[in-house]
Amino acid sequence: MAAAATMALVQDVWADRFDLENPDRDVEREVIRDPAPMVKVDDIKKTLEDSDNVLNKRKGLGGSPLAYITRDTLTLPEQTPGEVDQGFGMPSREAELVVRRTRHDGPAY
């Protein structure tokens, strides 16, 4: 919201955006392994967690983590009926800027 934007908040968002666009080199070199195939139905929780982990670490063409494809809500927060504020610091800036607001159209999608 423009009315709530202070210089300190704008500087924090700008600094975080720089970090998102310029990840540490160690992060880029991390080997992201595919989740192990689910053998038993009892392993469903671990399989889902492993899949979420992979989707949060692998990046698509546009540079966003692939987790944006499997998010529950497709519309932007301000356009979603019944959307409520999750509280201070929730979701994280990365989750909000990259996963929650990445578009589901265009050539990168």
pLDDT tens figures, 96-106: 767 777 777 77
The domain locations on the chain are 2-100
DSSP 107: T
Q: What is the mean pLDDT of residues 58-70?
A: 80
Q: Which residue has the higher pLDDT, 101 or 18?
A: 101
Tokens encoding 15: 């600094």
Tokens representing 4? 């709530």
Alpha-carbon distance of 35 to 52, in angstroms, equals: 9
The span from the CA of 25 to the CA of 28, in Å, is: 5
Q: How many Å apart are CA 51 and CA 93, to the nearest integer?
A: 22
CB 69 within 8 A of CB 55: yes
pTM above 0.85, yes or no: no
Cα(101)–Cα(109) distance, rounded to whole angstroms? 13
Whether 96 and 78 have beta carbons less than 8 Å apart is answered as no
Strand-pair partners of 59: 65
